[in-house]
A and B are shown apart, each in its own frame.
Chain A
């Protein structure tokens, strides 16, 4: 099989993986090729609008497992291929040199055994770093069930590693991915979290201490394939951030690929809205000091699809508002819909030099369309609209408020098409 075909097959299979981030790791170029830049760089945007930053491929799609939701499961009749280590090394180097990519994101189906699979992946990164002197970004998937000593070696070369948690609960895992044991997933997670922490602490003491996945670990789960609700999902995420020093949790809307499997729901569209709301809720957990139980509770176990989770929280807690932008503290302002961390820092800064006027807020990047219901500026309201949550909700939902509506051509023109 020629290499173009292989690349097509093995990138097709990898594309459902949502994580693209190449940020959070700083690797200096010491006389070879490449460096990892902390800000993360996107190199292109695919036709679906997602950023392309890494060469995201599987080493092989010849899988011995049979996960219900996966195109590459053993029972599917799909074209199979595997790279050789050398092919993958050359591909990475040549793409990188032409500035197509920021680095490599390598995952794989499980062939022969988890250990053998992991060994091959380790072989690729080892060669890239040691033979080719490649200093670009490398994200490596840890194969559940692989020996921890191989994972440990791989972690010395990779910038980030991840094990997919796949599904939000153990029962879902049993149902849809019977070959994967919960323990096989958790063990490497605990192990990597621990090693990462140790290596980070070591490096604070000795600058030359060996690196272990300096960009930390991330994980991914599928949303909408199982009956797990949003509260379960964000609680799980909260736990992962706290317990395993997880850097990111990625949510991927379930896409119906295996139509004949009746363990899976039939969805006309992938639940993209829900995925998007989960990312927003996740953002609240990581940067806005919300806890999972504040975002949702058992009487509200699903995120509101119509408005963002922060607005949703605000509408349920009108007693907290309005806040005076000239007085409120950082933590309080974090709760205001339409205000981001950056704009809040700008507000706090500007307050040291004088009173903030309503006009300033726009300059600081505050989205007044949403914030106006929840703040006052010098004691005065920004809008004289009422404080009834139902009415505010209607305002927050109306798209017309946010963007000038595009005018359509008279229907005459549309008839022919």
Chain B
């Protein structure tokens, strides 16, 4: 059977959904192109991204299923999990059948999995809203490197757009080589490689405030209650790399 390929973008995936729903072609999976998975015994077809088609599907999901489900789809997509496209396709088929109540049918395996994945992604978002650290650079702008498990800088940037609306800042997904750049009330999503931050790049005050924050971090802990296990349970070690207080 057929494999559908798309360009890896969210709109690309929705365009592919649109194509499949319209043509009613049967298929065995939907995959990002360029993954180089051995495609044995099956033909493949590349579906180009079409923003109108993608929008059509997005609207249909919001009105026929729910806005909540649409958000689930975005979050699950950002998990970059293997075969997530197939799961999401099954999910919208379910959703179109059941309607607005879809996400209450947790005994349905597909619905359950999507909700689980989406929950994990939004959990990481929530964690990183707190654990992300900005450093002030010479020109007064703020820079935050992160290495999230899921591809969530776009969502994080929405949070900081509201919060730091008069600043200039960049959140850099170091692992994936993406960054969101915010300036003049405008968000830009860019591919960035090799951003080099050296001591000289930081503002003069930067080291003072880091030192102050570390001092605060140490003095706020109650020694009689030291509990490294609990600390790591809330603040997994994989996030420590960019934490001012842990370096």
A interface residues with partner B (beta carbon < 8 Å): 3-4, 7-8, 11-12, 15-16, 29, 31-35, 39, 41-53, 55-56, 91, 94-95, 97-100, 102, 255, 269-270, 272, 346, 349-350, 353-354, 360, 363-364
Contacts and interface: CB of A to CB of B under 8 A. Distances in A.
B110 to A, nearest CB: 14
A43 B131 contact: yes
A48 B227 contact: yes
A316 to B, nearest CB: 31
Given A47-B231, A48-B222, A100-B213, A41 B162 contact: no
Contact of A15 (B112, B221, B233): B221
Sorted nearest first, the 7 A-B pairs with minimum C-beta distance are A49-B230, A48-B225, A46-B221, A47-B221, A49-B227, A43-B130, A45-B234
B37 interface: no
A49 B215 contact: no
A411 to B, nearest CB: 22
B27 interface: no
Contacts of B135: 98
A3 B212 contact: yes
Contacts of A98: 133-136, 142, 209, 213, 244
A41 B225 contact: no
Contact of B231 (A3, A12, A45, A270): A45
Contacts of A102: 130
Nearest to A49: B230
Given A15-B221, A41-B129, A47-B231, A7 B216 contact: yes
Contacts of A33: 163-167
Contacts of B106: 346, 350, 360, 363-364
Interface string B152-188: 0000000010111111000000000000000000000
Given A45-B234, A350-B106, A7 B212 contact: yes
B166 A32 contact: yes
Contact of B219 (A8, A41, A353): A8
A39 B126 CA distance: 9
Contacts of B213: 95, 98, 100
Interface in B187-206: 205
A255 B223 CA distance: 11
A35 B133 CA distance: 17
Nearest to A28: B162
A15 B220 contact: yes
Contacts of A55: 216
B134 A99 contact: yes
B133 A47 contact: no
B215 A4 contact: yes
13 contacts: A8-B219, A11-B220, A29-B163, A48-B221, A48-B226, A49-B228, A56-B220, A97-B142, A98-B134, A98-B142, A98-B213, A269-B224, A360-B106
B235 A45 contact: yes
Given A35-B163, A45-B235, A52-B217, 8 more contacts: A11-B220, A33-B164, A34-B163, A48-B225, A48-B226, A51-B234, A98-B136, A98-B244
A94 B209 contact: yes
B162 to A, nearest CB: 6
A142 to B, nearest CB: 22
Given A41-B129, A48-B225, A49-B227, A349 B104 contact: yes
A270 B224 contact: yes
Contacts of A99: 130, 132-134, 144, 160
Given A4-B211, A33-B167, A49 B217 contact: no
Contacts of A47: 218, 221, 226-228, 231
B105 interface: yes
Given A99-B134, A255-B224, A353-B105, A8 B215 contact: yes
Contacts of B215: 4, 7-8
B93 interface: no
Contacts of A41: 126, 129-130
Contact of A29 (B104, B162, B225): B162
A259 B163 CA distance: 46
Contacts of A349: 104
Nearest to A4: B215
B244 to A, nearest CB: 7
Contacts of B105: 353
A3 B160 CA distance: 29
Contacts of A15: 219-222
A29 B158 CA distance: 13
Contacts of B219: 7-8, 11-12, 15
A97 B136 contact: yes
A53 B130 CA distance: 8
Contacts of A16: 222
Contacts of B142: 97-98
Given A15-B219, A16-B222, A33-B167, A46 B231 contact: yes
B28 interface: no
Nearest to B127: A42
A44 B213 CA distance: 11
A350 B104 CA distance: 7
Contacts of B211: 4
A46 B217 contact: yes
Interface string B104-140: 1111000010000000000000100111111110000
Nearest to B144: A99
Contacts of B220: 11, 15, 46, 52, 56
A186 B133 CA distance: 41
B218 to A, nearest CB: 8
Contacts of B234: 42, 45, 49, 51
B230 A11 contact: no
Interface in B48-78: none
